[in-house]
Amino acid sequence: MYKVVLVQNFPTIFKIEQITLFGYFGNFGNNSTRNWAFVVLLFLVIPVNLQAQDLDIETIVKENPIKISGSAIFNNRIYSADGIEDRQENYIGTFSARLNMSIYGIAVPLAATITSQNSSVTQPYNRLSLRPKYKWIKTHIGYSSMTFSNYTQSGHTFLGGGVELNPGNIRFAANFGRYATSIPQNRAVNQSFVPSFNRLGGGVKIGYGTEQNYLDIAVFRAKDDKDSWTTIPDSSTVFPGENMAIGLVGKMSLVKNLSISGEFGRSAYTTDVRDDVISNKAAIFSTLGFKSRNSTIIRNALKFSGTYRIGVNSINGAYERIDPEYQTMGTYFFNNDIEIITAGYSTSILNKKMSIVFNGGLQRNNLSGDEVQESKRTIMSGNLVYVINPFSFGLNYSNYSSAIKFVLNSSLDSLNAVIVTQSTGFNTTYALKSVSNRSHLFVLSLYSQKVSDDFSSGDRGKENNMYSGILNYTYKMPEIKTELTARFNYNKNNLDGLVTTRMGPGITLKRLFLNETVTSQLIVNYLNSESGRTTNIILQGAMKINSRHTLMLNVSRIQRSIEMTTQEETTSYGETISSINYGYSF
C-alpha cells in the first residue's frame, strides 16, 4: 500500500517501498503549474508494470489529463462429442472486463475474468517503471533497461535510475541500479529461482554524431555483494563476481554509397571476488579502478560490417568474433566462442523486373582449440524473383552444411560427422482482374527439404526428405461483397524410411451483409492420410450492432475416421464446439 501525504507549505515525504523522496509544495499560481506538479507526483507514486512507459511531458501537459475506456465480453461455449467420451467441459461461461485509464499519459489497465470454474482479477501494480521525456532529455525511473553497446550493457533490467541526454549531436547516457537481488543457494531443497547475490552496477556512454554517423564509448561495471548471503557454503556453485566492460561503437559513411559500422568490446570478469588480488592483467581496467584476481578472465569481442551500393547493385559483408568465455553482467546471454564471416550481393535486371539475391557465410567455434567438440558451418542461399504482369515467379535455394568433430578420448581419436540441409522453394502467382472489378488469383507454392548426415565411422548415415505443395485460387466479387477461396494441400515426409502422406482440398466462403455490419464465413477442410481421414467444418458470424455492441457466433465440427492397422477396422468419432459472444466497449 502506498501513502502520499500533502501538507501545504511544508516538505512532503513520499514513501515507495524502501525509497524516500522529498518534495516541496507551496501555493500554485495557475492550472498549468498544478498540471506540471501533478505529473511529477504521478511519476513518484504510481507503480506500473515492468514494460516501461515512455512519457513525453511536453505532449502530456497539453492533452486531456484523464482518459477512460474499456470493454466487456460475455462468452458461452458448448462442447459435445459422439463416438468417444467427452474430452472437455460441456459448458463454460466466461465474463471478462477490461478498464483502461490514462492519467496524464500513464496507462493504468485493470482486468477481471469470471468463469464457471473460477475467477481472477489482474492489475499491473507490481513494479515502478517510468520513462519521462522532455525534448532531448529522457530519464529512466524504477525498473528499466538501457543499451550502451551489445558487448557491455544491452537490455538487462535494473532497479534504479538512468538518464539519456541528446542535445544536438551529443550522445550521453548513464545509469545506476540493482541488477540482481540476493537469493541464497539452498541445495537441500529444489529451488525454483536461480541463486544470486545482491548486484549493483551501472555505466556511462559518451558519443558524438547522428544516427547515421556516430562514435560512442561505453563503460559498464557491476559487482556482487558477498555479504548479501549470511554464509556461502563450500558446496555452493554460485560465487560473488565482478565485471568491468569497455565498448567502442561507431557507424559512418566514408565515401558516397559506402557505409561501415563496427563494435569492439573488452570485458574483465571475476568469478569470485574473494580471491586474492594479483597484478593487473590489463592497464586500462586498472586505470578505471578494477582489481584483477586469480579468477579474473579478460576476453574480447568485435564485429564489423559494411555495405556498398552502386545503382541497383549492393554488396555487403560482415565479420564477428567473440572469444570463448566472453561475458558481461550487463547482458543476459552471450553466444560466445564463435566466429562468423558473411557476404552478400543483390541486384535487379530486365528493367527491374527480376531481382537476384545471394548470401553466403562461414561459422566456426572452438576458437581456442581446447574443446572436445568442434563444428564448422557453411551457409549458402539464393533468391530470384521475376515479375511480369499478370505473372510473378519466385525461386529460392539454401544449403546449410555442418562439419562436426568429436574428440572421443585422450588419444585424440575422433568421430567426424557432416550434416547437410538443403531447401528449395518455388512459387508463382497469376492475377487477373475483369472489367466488372471481379478478380481471380491463382497461387502455386512448392517446397522441399532434404536433411542428411554422414558419419565417418560405420554405416550410420540417414536421409530425411520433406515435400509440400499448395494450389490456391481466390475469386473476389466486390459488388456483392463476396470472396471465394479453393485450395488443395499436399505433404509427404520420408523420415528415415518412415513415409507419411497427407493431402486434401479445402474451401472458404466469406460474405458481408447489411452495409458490412454482418460478416459471415464458412470454412471446410478435408485431409486424407495413411492413418485416416479428417473433415473440419467451421461456421463463423459477427454482427456489429453499433459502435459499442457486437455479437459473434462460431460453430466448429471435426469428424475423424481412424484406421486401426492392428485390428484392420475403422473407428469414427466427431466433436462439436459452439460459442456465442456478446461484446460491449466504451
Least confident of 136-140, 167-171, 281-285, 427-431: 281-285
Cβ 64 vs Cβ 105: under 8 Å: no
Least confident of 19-28, 205-214, 386-395, 409-418: 19-28
Q: What is the mean pLDDT of residues 232-243?
A: 88
- pLDDT value at residue 327: 95
Report for 22-36, 182-196, 519-533: range of highest mean pLDDT: 519-533
Distances in Å between the alpha carbon of 176 and those of 113, 163, 286, 404, 470? 39, 10, 21, 43, 55
pLDDT of residue 281 exceeding 60, the answer is yes
- pLDDT value at residue 492: 95
Alpha helices in 74-212 (DSSP H): none
Decide if 260 is inside a domain.
no
Secondary structure class of 46 (helix, strand, coil): coil
pLDDT of residue 31 exceeding 60, the answer is no
Alpha helices in 416-514 (DSSP H): none
Decide if 305 is inside a domain.
no
User: Tell me, what amino acid is at 172?
Assistant: F
* Span 153-167, pLDDT tens digits: 999 999 999 999 999
- pLDDT value at residue 21: 31
pLDDT of residue 23 exceeding 60, the answer is no
Please give the Cα distance from 529 to 537 (Å, whole number): 18
Last residue of a domain, one of 463, 495, 513: 513
pLDDT level of residue 100 (50, 70, 90 thresholds)? confident
For residue 467, what are the β-bridge partners?
448, 492
Residue 385 structural domain: 337-513
**Between 339 and 437, whose confidence is greater?**
339
- CA triplet 149, 152, 157: central angle to 5 degrees? 90
SS3 assignment for 255-300 = ECCEEEEEEEEEEEEECCCCCCECCCCCHHHHHCCCCCECCEEEEE
Burial 190-200 (b: 16+ CB within 10 A, else e): eeeeebbbbbb
For residue 268, what are the β-bridge partners?
244, 298
- pLDDT value at residue 38: 38
Distances in Å between the alpha carbon of 206 and those of 44, 141, 149, 166? 28, 20, 11, 10
Last residue of a domain, one of 487, 513, 539: 513
User: Tell me, what amino acid is at 86?
Assistant: D
- pLDDT value at residue 50: 41
Please give the Cα distance from 92 to 109 (Å, whole number): 26
Cβ 336 vs Cβ 327: under 8 Å: yes
The number of distinct structural domains making up the chain is: 2
Q: What is the mean pLDDT of residues 105-114?
A: 80
Decide if 74 is inside a domain.
no
Please give the Cα distance from 155 to 149 (Å, whole number): 9
Nine-digit cell at 308? 556498398
Please give the Cα distance from 458 to 466 (Å, whole number): 25
Nine-digit cell at 486? 479453393
Residue 142 is given by DSSP the state E
Please give the Cα distance from 56 to 34 (Å, whole number): 17
Rg of the chain on CA atoms, in Å? 32
Q: What is the mean pLDDT of residues 147-153?
A: 96
Decide if 552 is inside a domain.
no
User: Strands 53-56, 129-134: parallel, antiparallel or unpaired by DSSP?
Assistant: parallel
Decide if 476 is inside a domain.
yes
Which single residue is written with the C-alpha cell 535487379? 348
Decide if 384 is inside a domain.
yes
- pLDDT value at residue 416: 67
pLDDT of residue 143 exceeding 70, the answer is yes
Nine-digit cell at 400? 546449410
The rounded percent of the chain whose pLDDT value lies above 70 is: 82
Secondary structure class of 37 (helix, strand, coil): helix
Query: Chain centroid to CA 329: how far?
Result: 21
**Between 8 and 232, whose confidence is greater?**
232
CB-count exposure of residue 128 (10 Å: 0-12, 13-18, 19+): buried
pLDDT level of residue 102 (50, 70, 90 thresholds)? confident
Residue 58 is given by DSSP the state H
pLDDT of residue 210 exceeding 80, the answer is yes
φ and ψ at 479, to 5 degrees? -70, -25
Which single residue is written with the C-alpha cell 475423424? 560
Least confident of 234-248, 442-456, 475-489, 516-530: 442-456
- pLDDT value at residue 188: 61
CB-count exposure of residue 10 (10 Å: 0-12, 13-18, 19+): exposed
pLDDT of residue 53 exceeding 70, the answer is no
Please give the Cα distance from 409 to 406 (Å, whole number): 9
Q: What is the mean pLDDT of residues 514-540?
A: 95
Which single residue is written with the C-alpha cell 514494460? 51
Q: What is the mean pLDDT of residues 502-520?
A: 96
Residues in CB range of 80: below 8 A, 6 or more apart = 86, 90, 575, 576
Please give the Cα distance from 583 to 477 (Å, whole number): 30
pLDDT level of residue 48 (50, 70, 90 thresholds)? very low
Which single residue is written with the C-alpha cell 535455394? 397
- pLDDT value at residue 414: 54
- pLDDT value at residue 27: 38
- pLDDT value at residue 284: 84
- pLDDT value at residue 482: 96
pLDDT of residue 44 exceeding 60, the answer is no
Mean pLDDT value across the chain: 84
Last residue of a domain, one of 473, 488, 513: 513
pLDDT of residue 206 exceeding 90, the answer is yes
Please give the Cα distance from 430 to 388 (Å, whole number): 10
Q: What is the mean pLDDT of residues 285-292?
A: 88
Nine-digit cell at 567? 485390428
Burial 291-330 (b: 16+ CB within 10 A, else e): ebbebbbbbebbbebebeeeeeebebbbebbbbbebbbbb
Cβ 39 vs Cβ 32: under 8 Å: no
The rounded percent of the chain whose pLDDT value lies above 90 is: 62
Decide if 332 is inside a domain.
no
pLDDT of residue 406 exceeding 70, the answer is no
Nine-digit cell at 80? 459435445
pLDDT of residue 554 exceeding 90, the answer is yes
User: Strands 439-455, 354-364: parallel, antiparallel or unpaired by DSSP?
Assistant: unpaired
Which single residue is written with the C-alpha cell 557476404? 343
Decide if 519 is inside a domain.
no
Nine-digit cell at 75? 462468452
Kind plus residue range of the DSSP H or E element containing 95: strand 91-103
- pLDDT value at residue 455: 54
